[in-house]
Amino acid sequence: MDRIRIVGGNKLAGSIPISGAKNAALPLMIASLLTDDTLTLENVPHLADVEQLIRILGNHGVDYSVNGRREKQQKGYSRTINFSARNIVDTTAPYELVSKMRASFWVIGPLLARMGEAKVSLPGGCAIGTRPVDLFLEGLQALGAELDVDNGYVIAKTKNGRLHGNRYVFPKVSVGATHVLMMAASLAKGETVLENAAREPEIVNLAECLIAMGAKIHGAGTSTITIEGVEALSGARVRVIPDRIETGTYAMAVAMTGGDVVLEGARPDLLQTALDVLVETGAEITPTNEGIRVKRNGAGIAPVDVTTAPFPAFPTDLQAQFMGLMTMAKGKSRITETIFENRFMHVQELARLGAHITLSGQTAIVDGIARLKGAPVMATDLRASVSLVIAGLAAEGETVVNRVYHLDRGFERLEEKLSGCGAVIERISG
């Protein structure tokens, strides 16, 4: 199993290109199931989760091809990929595939809307919490789906071959369920109104894609989305937005180590709350023509309290990284997680680097110290893993992060991007 070895202490300086967003690319790829035409996606990041979803879509009959001359494709770089679901050969998403990646459950929306049936394995729990699918089921039922849960599978059918529009009020904000209902409603008969919908930038990216495919959608990015169903959708060409979580992660790395880095291609509007918090900690953030410049000199890190919540608030996917930063703040900070019930697994690992953190329910109280000390640590999930990398970059001496396959799910060329800015970081294979 690969490991990452870091020798901490260097400031970061230079530039880091920001990749396409994993969490935008995945639903866009799934949207290819809605049409028998080709959906071309630009800026698709080269990540383990993307490769896994390509396999899952392939099981339903989706062909893909990577654009451009082969010699121009650099391994590990974002690519343009054509997806073509001309013939759906299978409407079942089996346990073996869905259990590997929760987002693959989302195929239920387009399969049901286009084919009138879908049999999709329940995703099960995952390391960060139980993550039920009740909102997906309730929402699809509101659109007229007949559902049965049998032997770990959701078996969904439409009554007369087509879903029909309806009003559905989410009792709780869900990114995935908003994606799924927006896709399903695009091919339903009549109008759907989704209230208390998620407002994340990835929802807006998917809506732009569906609109380019011929869907009639208004209000994506607000909490009320209106979708007038159409008979069929066509192909389109759409660009995946820059990854706001990757952007925030590197910004926090600079805020922690000190230095001066331009995050190329980053969009400040996708993570304004997190950037405002970083400014409060003492980082200098400047939007530039190239992206976002992050700088920190001298003064040290000020403690700041944060609470995670749906967009536009502070994202849960940056909570672990921010905790890494706060371990070296000049004082106490409180970090409250409200999205997932078990997203503090990095606490024990940060403690191995010397961090002082106590947990009180869904709040972590972080008592900043002057220096972390390198140690072997274990990656537990994607964002927790990268918080250990950031902490390792700022710690004295050597940190080895084990189980880095978590990182490969969501960070494109992590070691290369960081070492390009002066970090001492390498992958040890085997």
Report the catalytic residues: 126
The verdict on 316 binding ligand EPZ (CB under 6 A) reads: yes
> How many chain residues interact with ligand EPZ (CB under 6 A)?
23
172 touching ligand EPZ, by CB under 6 A: yes
Task: Tell me whether strands 398-402 and 376-378 are parallel, antiparallel or unpaired.
Answer: parallel
Minimum CB distance to ligand EPZ, residue 196 (Å): 12
Q: Which residue is nearest to ligand EPZ (CB)?
A: 176
State which residue, 267 or 296, has the beta carbon closest to ligand EPZ: 267
The one segment of 6-14, 128-136, 262-270, 350-358 that binds ligand EPZ by CB under 6 A = 128-136
Restricted to residues 255-294, the positions that interact with ligand EPZ (CB under 6 A) are none
Binding of ligand EPZ by 103 (CB under 6 A): yes
Handedness of CA 249, 182, 224, 213 (dihedral sign): positive
Query: What SS3 string covers the chain?
Result: CCEEEEECCCCEEEEEECCECHHHHHHHHHHHHHCCCEEEEEEECCCHHHHHHHHHHHHHCCEEEECCCHHHCCCCCCEEEEEECCCCCCCEECHHHHCCCHHHHHHHHHHHHHHCEEEEECCCCECCECCCCHHHHHHHHHCCCEEEEECCEEEEECCCCCCECCEEECCCCCHHHHHHHHHHHHCCECEEEEECCCCCHHHHHHHHHHHHCCCEEECECECEEEEECCCCCCCEEEECCECHHHHHHHHHHHHHHCEEEEEECCCHHHCHHHHHHHHHHCCEEEECCCEEEEEECCCCCCCCCEEECCCCCECHHHHHHHHHHHCCCCCEEEEECCCCCCCCCHHHHHHHCCCEEEEECCEEEEECCCCCECCEEECCCHHHHHHHHHHHHHCECEEEEECCHHHHCCCCCHHHHHHCCCCEEEEECC
Under the binding rule (CB under 6 A), the answer on residue 136 touching ligand EPZ is yes
By beta-carbon proximity to ligand EPZ, the closer residue of 55 and 172 is 172
Q: How far is the CB of 147 from ligand EPZ (least distance, A)?
A: 13
For residue 129, state whether it binds ligand EPZ (rule: CB under 6 A).
Answer: yes
- Is the CB of 131 or the CB of 157 nearer to ligand EPZ? 131
Return the residues of window 40-99 that contact ligand EPZ according to CB under 6 A: none
Please report how close the Cβ of residue 49 comes to ligand EPZ at its closest, in angstroms: 8
Specify whether the CB–CB gap between 217 and 225 falls below 8 A.
Answer: yes
Measure the CA–CA gap between 38 and 150, rounded to whole angstroms. Answer: 34
Question: Interface with ligand EPZ includes 340 (CB under 6 A)?
Answer: yes
Nearer to ligand EPZ, 137 or 377 (CB): 137
Distance CA(221)–CA(303), nearest Å, equals 31
Among 91, 174, 226, 333, indicate the residue that binds ligand EPZ (CB under 6 A). Answer: 174
Which of 132, 161, 287, 331 is the binder for ligand EPZ (CB under 6 A)? Answer: 132
Is residue 125 a contact residue for ligand EPZ (CB under 6 A)? Answer: no
Query: From the list 44, 48, 112, 133, which residue makes contact with ligand EPZ (rule: CB under 6 A)?
Result: 133
> Is there binding between residue 183 and ligand EPZ (CB under 6 A)?
no
* Contacts of ligand EPZ in 383-402 (CB under 6 A): 383
Q: Which of 30, 355, 382, 401: binder of ligand EPZ (CB under 6 A)?
A: 382
165 versus 176: smaller Cβ distance to ligand EPZ: 176
Q: Which of 10, 19, 23, 327 binds ligand EPZ (CB under 6 A)?
A: 23
Q: How far is the CB of 232 from ligand EPZ (least distance, A)?
A: 27
Residues 200 and 222: their CA atoms lie apart, in Å, by 9
Please, which residue, 102 or 413, has the CB nearer to ligand EPZ? Answer: 102
Rule CB under 6 A: which of 399-418 touch ligand EPZ? 410
- The nearer residue to ligand EPZ, 79 or 383, going by C-beta atoms, is 383
Tell me the closest approach of the beta carbon of residue 23 to ligand EPZ, in angstroms: 3
Query: Do the strands 191-195 and 224-228 form a parallel or antiparallel pair, or are they unpaired?
Result: antiparallel
* Residues at the interface with ligand EPZ (CB under 6 A): 23, 26, 102-103, 129, 131-136, 172, 174-177, 316-317, 339-340, 382-383, 410
